[in-house]
């Protein structure tokens, strides 16, 4: 019996050694090379996609530093279209200057309103288990497949026909953006609630904490990574939003960067200043996304996420 056991252990060890060698890029006993060691075709396709996607953006950024007015001929390096003496630079031209601050304002307002609402919605759906709550959860997920153009037109009629007292403008833009983006924090926080479970709240209740104290001192700190990630996602999403803000803006004083770039370029009046405005918008998105990634990694360091369980809970499965 001992000899058979030893032979079995030897066979298993030999098979494991062969598998490890193949996975590390070695050759199999029959001399066949591992086909997945260097998938040349997949690597080449990936690099081709990256070049195809990033080169146009790099060209647009390069022409934002063009010394001349041409958008097709590079005439030297200059920052005149950002803050130079040119009247059409981003810093000096009133429409471009206000568009930058309008974008930041809309992003901040939307984030400050949408994230708490999304967190509250996630807590309610997580605690309220019934057919009605599952229906509301499904409707929230369904909003991700609704075209933004249809949503924007619907919100336009809401503020021009149903709630005429609000009308078009900053308030309508913020309400529309909040409605469109509130699903993001709700989804992310629901996933976080599934991963942390209810044992911490139950332990706090056993120690005498009230429900409000359990939420404020136990649940909210545990949800901070999800809240932070959803805030970053909402903020960066509003930066480049075009459809909703275009349909709900009333005049040039509340027009963000995305609408300014489209309307000006579409009219054939494009200048390197538009490239500079787009570069600023791109830089803002990268900075926010980078900070969000670093912050989330620091907050969730050493934690493991059960993605399948989270997705099943979000979809309404028990």
Number of independent structural domains in the chain:
1
Asked whether residue 126 is domain-assigned, the answer is yes
For the stretch 128-152, pLDDT in tens is 766 666 666 676 776 677 888 888 8
| 55, part of any domain | no
Q: Is the pLDDT of residue 310 over 70?
A: no
Token pair of 82 as six digits: 């950002």
Domain carrying residue 175: 83-314
Rounded Cα gap, residues 250 and 43, in angstroms: 48
CATH code (residue 142)? 1.10.3720.10
Q: Tell me how far CA of residue 77 lies from CA of 83, 157, 209, 284, in angstroms.
A: 14, 47, 63, 22
Q: Is residue 179 part of a domain?
A: yes
Average pLDDT over residues 67-73: 73
Q: How far apart are the first and last CA of the chain?
A: 47
In a domain, 99, yes or no: yes
**pLDDT at residue 13 is higher than 80:** no
Q: What token pair was written down for 4?
A: 């058979």
Instruction: Give residue 116's pLDDT band: very low, low, confident or very high (50, 70, 90).
Output: very high
161 within a domain of the structure (yes/no): yes
Q: Is residue 102 part of a domain?
A: yes
Give pLDDT tens digits for 250-279. Answer: 776 678 888 888 877 765 566 777 888 888
Q: In sequence order, what are the beta bridge partners of 77?
A: 66
Instruction: Please tell me what DSSP assigns to residue 37.
Output: S
**What share of the chain in percent tops pLDDT 90?**
6
pTM over 0.75, yes/no:
no
Segment among 111-115, 244-248, 266-270 with least mean pLDDT: 266-270
């Amino acid at each position: 019996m001992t000899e058979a056991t030893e032979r079995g252990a030897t066979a298993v060890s030999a098979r494991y050694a062969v598998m490890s060698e193949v996975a590390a890029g070695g050759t199999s006993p029959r001399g066949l090379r591992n086909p997945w060691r260097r998938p040349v075709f997949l690597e080449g396709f990936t690099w081709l996609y990256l070049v195809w996607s990033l080169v146009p953006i790099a060209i647009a950024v390069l022409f934002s530093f063009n010394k001349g007015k041409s958008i097709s001929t590079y005439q030297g390096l200059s920052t005149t279209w950002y803050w130079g003496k040119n009247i059409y630079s981003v810093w000096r031209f009133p429409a471009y200057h206000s568009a930058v601050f309008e974008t930041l304002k809309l992003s901040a307002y939307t984030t400050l309103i949408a994230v708490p609402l999304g967190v509250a919605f996630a807590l309610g759906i997580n605690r309220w288990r019934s057919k009605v709550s599952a229906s509301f959860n499904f409707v929230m997920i369904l909003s991700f497949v609704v075209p933004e153009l249809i949503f924007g037109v619907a919100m336009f009629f809401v503020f021009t026909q149903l709630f005429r007292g609000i009308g078009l403008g900053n308030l309508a833009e913020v309400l529309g953006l909040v409605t469109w983006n509130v699903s993001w924090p709700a989804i992310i926080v629901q996933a976080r609630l599934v991963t942390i479970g209810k044992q911490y709240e139950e332990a706090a209740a056993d120690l005498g904490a009230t429900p409000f104290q359990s939420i404020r001192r136990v649940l909210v700190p545990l949800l901070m990574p999800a809240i932070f990630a959803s805030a970053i996602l909402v903020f960066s999403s509003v930066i480049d939003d075009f459809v909703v803000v275009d349909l709900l803006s009333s005049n040039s004083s509340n027009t963000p960067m995305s609408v300014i770039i489209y309307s000006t370029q579409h009219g054939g009046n494009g200048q390197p200043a538009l490239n500079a405005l787009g570069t600023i918008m791109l830089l803002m998105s990268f900075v926010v996304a980078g900070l969000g990634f670093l912050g989330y990694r620091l907050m969730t360091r050493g934690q493991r996420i059960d993605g399948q369980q989270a997705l099943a809970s979000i979809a309404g499965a028990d």
